[in-house]
Amino acid sequence: MNPWGNPERFFAITDAAQRRAEVEDLVSEIAQALAIAGEYRTRIDLQPTQRVVDFNWAAHQAGRRVGIRVDVDVTISKSDATAEIRVLRRHALS
């Protein structure tokens, strides 16, 4: 019996930490674009699904960082399994 358990659980921990760091970089990138241009556009792969969830969360966090609310518009392309995403300024927080 291995006292450390299944080693795959450690890979999940390091993957989660890496994903958080990547999402934080994305929050900064979106926030900068929102502050300068009022919008952010990109194209992302739809798989894994967590990538889409992380992007949506990052977009809303970026809006909070610059003091605005945002709308996230997603256009899905089924032919190549990607999504074109546009993050737009909605209005100032009160």
Domain-embedded: residue 1: no
Domain-embedded: residue 3: no
| Band of residue 91 on the pLDDT scale cut at 50, 70, 90 | low
Whole-model pTM?
Answer: 0.76
Q: How far is it, in rounded angstroms, from Cα 64 to Cα 36?
A: 15
Domain-embedded: residue 2: no
In the chain, the number of structural domains is 1
**Per-residue pLDDT reduced to its tens digit, 14-48:** 577 777 888 899 999 999 999 999 999 999 998 88
Domain-embedded: residue 12: yes
Classify 2 as helix, strand or coil: coil
CB neighbours (10 Å) of residue 39?
15
Read off the CATH number of the domain in which 41 is found: 3.30.110
Q: How far is it, in rounded angstroms, from Cα 65 to Cα 29?
A: 11
Residue 10 vs residue 22, higher pLDDT: 22
Q: Which domain holds residue 13?
A: 8-92
